[in-house]
Amino acid sequence: MQTGTTTAPATAPGPSAARRRGPAAAVLIAEARLFLREPGSLFWVFAFPSVLLVILGFVPAFKEAQDDLGGRRVIDLYVPISILLAMITAGVQAMPPVLTAYRERGILRRMSATPVRPSALLAAQILLHGAACLGSALLVTVVGRTAYGVPLPGQPAGYLLALLLSAAAALCLGATICALSRTAKAATAVGSVAYLVMMFTAGVWLPVQAMPDILRRVVEITPFGAASQALEQAASGSWPGWIHLGVLALWTAVTGVAASRMFRWQ
Amino acid sequence: MAIIEVDAVRKTYAGRPVVDGVSFSVDEGEIFGILGPNGAGKTTTVECVEGLRIPDAGTVKVAGLDPVADHDRVTQLLGAQLQESELQAKLTVREALELYSAFYPAPADWRPLAARLGLEEKLTTRFAKLSGGQKQRLFIALALIGDPKVVVLDELTTGLDPRARRDTWKLIEEIRDGGVTVLLVTHFMEEAQRLCDRIAVIDRGKVVALDTPAGLIRRATGSTVISFVPSRALTGPDLTRLTALPGVASVTPPDSEGTLTLHGTDDSVTPFVALLAELGVTARRLRITGTSLDEAFLDLTEQDA
């Protein structure tokens, strides 16, 4: 990954930038088609978070307002949590094996022997997984609203900011896993461990807001603990705490730089 | 005129020289072979030509351009088929051809190219479902899709069955006949002998010989092989006289079927026939053959050992 390629298109600056727009678009289209041919990834990123939300809604107690949650219901908390689940799945579970396999199988190398830089392939993958995250977020929001009457975020701008930062953090973490893993198998293994840890910190098993104080303070330092807090604050109408947004931004920056420095092209 | 110039290129990995002062030049329109045992540095050498590796020392020019500094322009002139590279498993043949077409400012039309390579029937097949031969043909198509002046083919026929290999050879000749210069990396002597105008034999990172296939064979000692089954057992003095014939380098004693083998030159043949007549021996199953490039190659790479 080149510096700052978290979502940037692959067109390198320079005299040939105009001509390269064609190839980068062709790569994006081809990768989008390939992305749609992975039913496993599509299901876990796109459908599963909404399915989880629907299932949780079958628990009657989750639909009752609770005093210790400031009058909110458990199901309300699970809308941002399900969205974070989609992002973690896309970033650390789905994407790293794809990128690592592209390197392992010489696909990046083959592309290096053409006028197009192989970074175009990585950029397309990051972009597609990012788009899938946001698409899934939209679906979860709609399902929550229509099925269980979960109110839309009270502070939409803050919510969107937290959402974009969370997606960037998930993708940069995934890119770091990819940079550190020699093989697609290793990437899957590392990704799975990271996946479980991140699901916990995002509050999939126990919402961060319901965690005991000490545990919550620790979890808030992790990217998805911070994301969970920021999203929940914006959902209930206030601007997300700068400390949470700062933690997210820091994780994104550190892992983004680490991935671009350590990525091996072959 | 030389289209590829490689001059005193060195490449070292972990203190071990893999390419150790390799120089050669490839003329426009020829099929130039790089022949050598596994691990001789063939692939590293051509990777320097393709701009995929930066030489530690020496220079490489493709049509006068530096493959690393002028990567964009060189990749437009030079098509490559890499050893052990793949495509995305679920990409179809058609999508791969369209995608790679989009990489070049003036690509060749992929449809006739696919037809020429016998890929028409496979356009909707995914890469992972192609046979080894089909994958190689697709990679040849992708190497040619930018309408290059030079193609580099690295171990193209490794893993193909004999028929597919022969079909591929025909294709390579057609590519050259279409005006494209071919740089061919191989460890098959037969392939080099059949296709190449000139061959650089590389062993342990150095060029040990550079000649036409016929020239390489001539360099090898014992280039004419005479084998026969004598009608009676030859005595010690008979064998001594055989060994003393003009040009004979060695006489191999009879094998389990009684076949005797002489390594000599063209000059050995007539005296050999005369000697048999004098001894009153009939030569059954007489074979007189030129040595293969195989033996010339072993001879060349052994000199270094």
**Which one of B218, B237, B266 terminates a domain?**
B218
User: What's the domain range around B178?
Assistant: 2-218
Contacts of A109 in chain B (CB under 8 A): 52, 82, 85
Same domain, B229 and B246: yes
Please write the tens of the pLDDT for every residue from B148-191: 999 999 988 887 888 888 888 998 999 999 999 999 998 888 88
Q: DSSP assignment, residue A133?
A: H
Confidence of residue A165 (pLDDT cuts 50, 70, 90): very high
Q: Are residues B204 and B238 in the same domain?
A: no
Q: Give yes or no: residues B151 and B119 share one domain.
A: yes
SS3 (DSSP) at B25: strand
pLDDT at A2 over 60: no
Beta-carbon separation of B86 and A107 below 8 A: yes
The answer on pLDDT for B303 being more than 60 is: no
**One domain for residues B46 and B167:** yes
How many structural domains does chain B have?
2
CA distances from B240 to A51, B248, B252, B275 (A): 91, 11, 12, 12
Prediction ipTM score: 0.82
Q: Which helix (H) or strand (E) holds A33?
A: helix A17-36
Cα separation, B45 vs B74, in Å, equals 16
Position A9 pLDDT exceeds 50: no
> pLDDT-derived band of residue B146, with 50, 70 and 90 as boundaries?
very high
Q: What is the mean pLDDT of chain B?
A: 89
Write out residues 73-132 of B within 8 Å (CB-CB) of A: 75-76, 80, 82, 84-88, 90-91, 95, 98-100, 102-105
- Other CB atoms within 10 A of residue B163 CB: 9
Q: Identify the CATH number of the domain in which residue B248 sits.
A: 3.30.70.100
Residues B23 and B150 in one domain: yes
B259 with B277, same domain: the answer is yes
Secondary structure letter of residue B121 according to DSSP: G
Sign of torsion over alpha carbons A121, A129, A167, A40: negative
Mean predicted confidence (pLDDT) in B208-235:
83
The yes-or-no verdict on residue B223 having pLDDT over 80 is: no
CA distance B42 to B158: 14
Q: Could you report the per-residue pLDDT of A54-72, keeping only the tens digit for each?
A: 999 999 988 888 888 878 8
Rounded Cα distance between B267 and B260, Å, is 18
pLDDT for B222 equals 62
Cβ pair B85:A105 closer than 8 A: yes
Q: What is the DSSP letter of A117?
A: -
**How much is the pLDDT for B164?**
82
Report pLDDT digits (tens) over A94-131: 999 999 999 999 999 999 999 998 888 889 999 999 99
Given the DSSP bridges, would you call strands B250-252 and B260-264 parallel, antiparallel or unpaired?
antiparallel
Question: Last residue of a domain, which of B218, B244, B274?
Answer: B218
How far is residue B235's CA from residue B241's CA, in Å, rounded to a whole number? 10
| Averaged pLDDT score across all residues of chain A | 88
Tell me what percent of the residues of chain B surpass a pLDDT of 90.
53
Domain ranges of chain A: 18-262
The domain that holds B139 is classified in CATH as 3.40.50.300
Question: For testing the chain B interface, which of A99, A100, A105, A110 should be mutated: the one with the most B CBs within 10 Å?
Answer: A110
The answer to whether B75 contacts A19, with C-beta atoms less than 8 Å apart, is no
